Structure 1
Amino acid sequence: MASQGSASRAFITGLSGPTISPLERAFLREAQPWGLIIFKRNISDPSQVADLARDFRDAVGWEAPILVDQEGGRVQRLGPPHWPAYPPGAVFSAIYDRSPASGLAAARMGAHLIAADLRALGIDVDCLPLADVPVSEADPIIGDRAYGTEPGKVAALAGAVAEGLLAGGVLPVLKHLPGHGRARADSHKELPVVDTDGATLERTDFAAFRPLKDLPLGMTAHVVFSAIDAHAPATTSVTMVREVIRGFIGFTGLLMSDDVSMGALSGTIAERSQAALAAGCDVVLHCNGDLTEMSEVAGVAPKLTGIAATRAARALSMRSQGEAFDVAEARRIFNAMVA
């Protein structure tokens, strides 16, 4: 099996269920997505998930990345009875307020434990950490998923989580660039518009991402920042990607869109995908497993080349088997820390 996806196209796909159907297998072989993202509909038990990971990689012919949203709290695709429940980001925020060192240690250890769970299944990318900085009037879609409301603390805890994942051999995905914390709507359902002035955004929302600019992977926010680009959300805004995500924040990693099937975006799936790529996203993320939509994305996603391919290769070069780790002892310590 090839070590790199030299034939890969610039998108990450979902699948409809816990196994790959014959039609999906043919699609994967032909379309060559760069990666796979899995959801609860794709999960039943550990052996099934491991089989799905192997089958996907067999279909595309290389050790392609496999992603999951495993944050803890409300966003945890793998959960009891087969996998532990993990706390949301707010728990680490509270520990940090009592003792910054303890908060950072708990965040890192929790992420290392999550990585151990994922690596055992063949999953090597976690869509974590968040560096979103919520405000009191925002929609609760971020809420307790966040690591606090102060940019410095959010960045520190997010950095600790990224360290823990990498130590466990799993790549982190920084989200949601350049910030979903002020959104007054859930972008899964509708398009949020943030009217805060640019100077305030730079001091708060955007500032939390800057210390994390060298993480290997990042995900955009389907949020309009009217002070910078009143017409397009960050995902499809050339200005937001160039001037804020790559510019002010300085993000250097592979940039993926958030899910292009979400309600925040408009147009056909093909049009949304084209707009995200034209804005500067390196790859398009499509999650719902609808084969018709998957084919639309594949139809407009180019081969992964140039700077996008370089960023992808850099990210994958950071995959590892993980550090030696006594999982049972670490879980005992971690449970005591977050109790």
Structure 2
Amino acid sequence: MSEQKAWIAGCAGKRLSPDEKAFYADERPWGFILFGRNVGEAAELRDLVAELREAGGRETTPILVDQEGGRVQRLRPPLAPRYPASARLGELHDSDPEAAERAAWLTGRLFAFDLAAYGFTVDCLPCLDVPVAGANSVIGDRAYSSSPEVVAKLGRAAAAGLAAGGLLPVMKHMPGHGRGNADSHLSLPVVEASCAELEASDFQPFRALADLPAAMTAHILFRDIDPDQPTTLSPIVIADVIRGRLGFGGLLLTDDMSMKALQGEMRDLGRRAIEAGCDIALHCNGDMAEMRAVAAGVPELVGVSAMRALAAEAYGPTHLQPADERTLRAEYEAIMGPPVA
């Protein structure tokens, strides 16, 4: 089997088309990511995940999803319970830190039960962004807290819960999206804060969790660090901040390359992201023309990036701790109340 290429693909619908199957076989993405448009009935979703894994050519082909609770929850009832936004755990921490930390772990572990049932192996969680007053609401209650210490503690617990369920956690959005003055889905956020301010707050949770195996970049321009390029395309931010100051040595994914924060031709953007130091370019919207361009711009997944990818793939299986789902759901409900049907 030839090597994978340094990208992750989305798909258009609830089943793969013949064109998609042939394209994936040729362009060999490392993994796939699913969104709400891809989620149908339970049997449909399992079939789609199986199709993607077959298209990927490996039993270990990673299948990703964003399952955070609150606004960002791709699997909803009846496929999975509704969970509160991460900010609810931060609110609990204000009154009962121990209960909040346990609830964060339980949330990750229950997400793992929910997702593994359909074949997912990766959850893009925890969100380690530290929001500040006046920032765009795109993060908002997706963040655990405005305290970097609380974000780090609850993010660590959630990641451990996912791993105990056999899933790979992906922390986001490195090195911090909490100050963004725009929604990066629509335009490029610019952060004017000094590097010293960022060090004192935004960077802290990512530094504390730098031992985790995978992370996702923020499509944000930090003017005091690199006034010309957003993080995803910035060798300065990736080398000096993410790999340097924060000490992150794991697999670095881009945020979605199809978001409007990045401007330019998709092939060029994919190439530039890898050249800047990202290991894998993530493309989510399932548009075939865009996917062809991204795939044409990225290289084979080799060298240190391939080693990081192998370590990330092994992380969930090697941390799996079998547990009784009913018992853990009852414990979660005793702390947080029953999920909304």
TM-score, structure 2 as length reference: 0.96
Aligned to 2:254, the other structure's residue is in SS state strand
Q: Which moved more, 1:102-111 or 1:267-276?
A: 267-276
Aligned to 1:259, the other structure's residue is in SS state coil
Aligned to 2:317, the other structure's residue is in SS state coil
User: Which of 303, 306, 330 is the aligned partner of 2:328?
Assistant: 330
Aligned to 2:61, the other structure's residue is in SS state coil
User: For residues 20-39 of structure 1, what are the structure 2 equivalents within 5 Å?
Assistant: 20-39=16-35
1:254 is aligned to: 251
Q: CA offset at residue 34 of structure 1?
A: 0.2
Task: Say if 2:84 is the partner of 1:106.
Answer: no
User: Which of 312, 316, 331 is the aligned partner of 1:315?
Assistant: 312
Aligned to 1:71, the other structure's residue is in SS state strand
Task: Say if 2:157 is the partner of 1:148.
Answer: no
Q: CA offset at residue 130 of structure 1?
A: 0.8
CA distance in 1 between partners of 2:249 and 2:158 (Å) = 19
Q: Which moved more, 1:180-189 or 1:315-324?
A: 315-324
CA distance in 2 between partners of 1:271 and 1:252 (Å) = 25
Deviations 1:287-333 (A, max 9, x none): 00001111111111111000100100111121318322211221122
Q: After TM superposition, which residue ranges in structure 1, 4 or more long, deviate above 2 angstroms? A: none
Aligned to 1:84, the other structure's residue is in SS state coil
Q: CA offset at residue 269 of structure 1?
A: 0.9
User: Which of 261, 264, 268 is the aligned partner of 1:264?
Assistant: 261
Which residue identity does 1:47 align to in structure 2?
Answer: A
Count of aligned residue pairs for this structure pair: 335
CA distance in 2 between partners of 1:254 and 1:47 (Å) = 31
User: Which of 152, 171, 174 is the aligned partner of 2:171?
Assistant: 174
Deviations 1:94-131 (A, max 9, x none): 11111211111000001100001111111000000011
1:10 is aligned to: 6
Which residue identity does 2:181 align to in structure 1?
Answer: R
CA distance in 2 between partners of 1:123 and 1:295 (Å) = 24
CA distance in 1 between partners of 2:330 and 2:80 (Å) = 15
User: For residues 76-225 of structure 1, what are the structure 2 equivalents within 5 Å?
Assistant: 76-225=73-222
Gap regions ≥5 residues in structure 1? none
CA distance in 2 between partners of 1:162 and 1:191 (Å) = 28
CA distance in 2 between partners of 1:83 and 1:308 (Å) = 33
Q: Is the 8 A contact 2:31 2:56 kept in 1?
A: no
CA distance in 2 between partners of 1:282 and 1:200 (Å) = 28
Aligned to 1:36, the other structure's residue is in SS state strand
Aligned to 2:170, the other structure's residue is in SS state strand
Deviations 1:195-235 (A, max 9, x none): 00111100100112111101111000000000000111111
CA distance in 2 between partners of 1:139 and 1:247 (Å) = 28
Deviations 1:131-179 (A, max 9, x none): 1000011001100010101111111110000000000000000100000
Aligned to 1:297, the other structure's residue is in SS state helix
Deviations 1:242-294 (A, max 9, x none): 00011111111100100011010110111111111111000000000001111
Which residue identity does 2:194 align to in structure 1?
Answer: D
CA distance in 2 between partners of 1:40 and 1:200 (Å) = 36
Q: Is the 8 A contact 2:24 2:56 kept in 1?
A: yes
2:36 is aligned to: 40
Q: CA offset at residue 81 of structure 1?
A: 2.2
Aligned to 1:227, the other structure's residue is in SS state coil
Which residue identity does 2:105 align to in structure 1?
Answer: R
Aligned to 1:319, the other structure's residue is in SS state helix
Aligned to 1:219, the other structure's residue is in SS state strand
> How many percent identity over aligned positions?
47
Q: CA offset at residue 184 of structure 1?
A: 1.1
RMSD, aligned CA: 1.0
